[in-house]
Amino acid sequence: MLHDTLEDTQTTPEQIAHINSEVAEICKLVSKNYNTKGYYENIAQNPKAAFVKIADRVCNIRASLEENNEPMIIKYFNEVHEYQKLNNELTSEIYKNEFLPLFAKMISVISNSQIPPY
């Protein structure tokens, strides 16, 4: 939630660092406001940030599937290849047990969609 705070409010990483510097660094990595070049590669360098990013995406995909939000499902589908970079020892369980099954569900929705991927 704190990476969304960085993206959607005036909160700064320094304010979060007053609570916990490690959490502030993870939030900066996962926030597109602060991690602007090599986004997924930078996240992949920090296993905890990779876990946060995959967990966040799992939540986003689930919500989009429940709402049958085809444009967002397709957006997330088109970014799936980037998430392979985040599969590491810390993220392997959520990647295998949560993310990949949702990927299969996205394929099912897209195959029945009028909106083409890419």
If asked whether residues 99 and 64 sit together in one domain, one would say yes
Instruction: Tell me the C-alpha distance between 58 and 17, whole Å.
Output: 26
Give backbone dihedrals phi and psi of 14, rounded to 5 degrees, phi first: -65, -35
* pTM, full prediction: 0.86
Q: How many of the other CB atoms lie within 10 Å of CB of 115?
A: 10
Domain of residue 25, residue span: 1-36
pLDDT tens by residue, 65-116: 999 999 999 999 999 999 999 999 999 999 999 999 999 999 988 887 766 6
Give backbone dihedrals phi and psi of 35, rounded to 5 degrees, phi first: -115, 85
If asked whether residues 104 and 74 sit together in one domain, one would say yes
Query: What is the tally of structural domains in the chain?
Result: 2
The average pLDDT across 41-61 equals 95
